[in-house]
Amino acid sequence: MSEVSVLLLAVILDLLIGEPPHRLHPVVWMGSAVEWMRNILGNSRISGIILTIAVAAPFTIPLFLINHLQDPLNLIISSILLSAVISIRMLVTSALEVGGSLKEDIEDARRKLSMLVSRDTTSLSDEQITSAAIETLTENITDSVTAPIFYFILLGLPGAFLYRVINTLDAMVGYLDSENRDIGWFPARLDDILNYIPSRITGVLMVPAALLLGMNWRGSFRILLRDARRTPSPNSGFTMAAAAGALSVQLEKPGVYVLGDPCDGLDNEKLLDAVKLSSLTLILFTLAAAGVMLVIP
């Protein structure tokens, strides 16, 4: 079975079908496992290590058995499973829905945005909503697409699922509040480590994507170098900064970070441009990933 075929078919499946039904979604199952296990374990760093291993094992070890299946069953099952842990269509659709609502009903746009970001959206202005939508889109192309593919290249299907387990753990317990600070320390550090290379590759690929789209590719590279480390996360700023430069806009999470220069205003056209930029970046990443797998079996 060709790993390249699995990757390309998985991307096509995600684009055509999108997310699996909620009751069949492996990431939903991961979240349920995390919630169940953390209720059993105490809030300590040792508990965080145990939680990570206990959730990761059942979602990765059985996947090694798929390699023993014969084609085309191996190809079909592997492609379906890989498509379930990447989320291209959902990311793009979510951003477009916020933009569409913003033109008609700002309250509906705030409501839809609140399902995508952790910040309070109840009093955000049009520009703040647009900024937040661009931020979450460009940040999450690493978490939801390029990082799972990166670890699929390195470790096969178990690698992609292992990454998503760690990323889900970080999203659920990787916070600094008293309830999560200790138990979430280990998965949060692992998530930072696992995202280190994919986030930087994705941010760099935004520069040629901007060039191909006729956007500000020089600004993309300049802001990437200048602002990528201004976010609390060691990784999320790379794609957001590159996008801010390419779009010639300033992205801001009040009181947390400011990325880019306010050369142009933030409006729905800029959000649409961010969707185009993110989409082409993902195409370039997928083609590069396929090329690497062909050259290095």
129-161: pLDDT as tens digits: 999 999 999 999 999 999 999 999 999 999 999
Q: Tell me 145's DSSP state.
A: I
Does residue 92 carry a pLDDT above 70? yes
If pLDDT is split at 50, 70 and 90, which confidence band does 179 have? confident
Query: What pLDDT, on the 0 to 100 scale, is given for residue 178?
Result: 82
Query: What pLDDT, on the 0 to 100 scale, is given for residue 176?
Result: 82
Number of domain units in the chain: 1
Least reliable range by pLDDT among 49-63, 173-187, 234-248: 173-187
DSSP letters of 146-204?
IHHHHHHHHHHHHHHHHHHHHHHHHHHH---STTTTTTTHHHHHHHHHHHHHHHHHHHH
Q: How far apart are CA 60 and CA 52, in angstroms?
A: 12
What are the CB-based long-range contacts (under 8 Å, 24+) for 260-268?
260/223, 260/227, 261/219, 261/223, 263/219, 265/127, 266/126, 266/127, 266/130, 266/131, 266/134, 267/126, 267/127, 267/130, 268/99, 268/102, 268/103, 268/130
If pLDDT is split at 50, 70 and 90, which confidence band does 204 have? very high
Q: How far apart are CA 51 and CA 53, in angstroms?
A: 6
Q: Quick one: angle between helices 73-84 and 26-40, nearest 10?
A: 60
For 264, the token pair is: 């142009």
If pLDDT is split at 50, 70 and 90, which confidence band does 67 have? confident
209-220: pLDDT as tens digits: 999 999 999 999
Q: How far apart are CA 210 and CA 208, in angstroms?
A: 5
Q: How many CB atoms lie within 10 A of CB 32?
A: 11
The span from the first CA to the last CA of the chain, in angstroms, equals: 11
Does residue 224 carry a pLDDT above 80? yes
Name the pTM for this structure.
0.95
For 75, the token pair is: 């190809």
Query: What pLDDT, on the 0 to 100 scale, is given for residue 272?
Result: 97
Write the burial class of residue 1 (CB in 10 Å: 0-12 exposed, 13-18 middle, 19+ buried).
middle
**Residue range of the domain that includes 93:** 3-295
259-296: pLDDT as tens digits: 999 999 999 999 999 999 999 999 999 999 999 999 98
If pLDDT is split at 50, 70 and 90, which confidence band does 1 have? low
20-36: pLDDT as tens digits: 999 999 999 999 999 99
Phi, psi of 214 (to 5 degrees): 75, 25
Residue located via tokens 């492996």: 26
Q: In Å, what is the CA distance from 273 to each residue of 96, 192, 268?
A: 11, 28, 9
Does residue 243 carry a pLDDT above 90? yes
Least reliable range by pLDDT among 2-16, 46-60, 150-164, 171-185: 171-185
The percent of residues above 70 in pLDDT, for the chain, comes to 99
96-117: pLDDT as tens digits: 999 999 988 999 999 999 999 9
**Cα–Cα nearest to 149, from 193, 208, 198:** 198
**Could you tell me if 140 and 91 are in contact, meaning their C-beta atoms sit under 8 angstroms apart?**
yes
Does residue 118 carry a pLDDT above 90? no
Q: How far apart are CA 263 and CA 253, in angstroms?
A: 18
Query: What pLDDT, on the 0 to 100 scale, is given for residue 277?
Result: 98
If pLDDT is split at 50, 70 and 90, which confidence band does 70 have? confident
Q: How large is the C-alpha radius of gyration of the chain?
A: 19
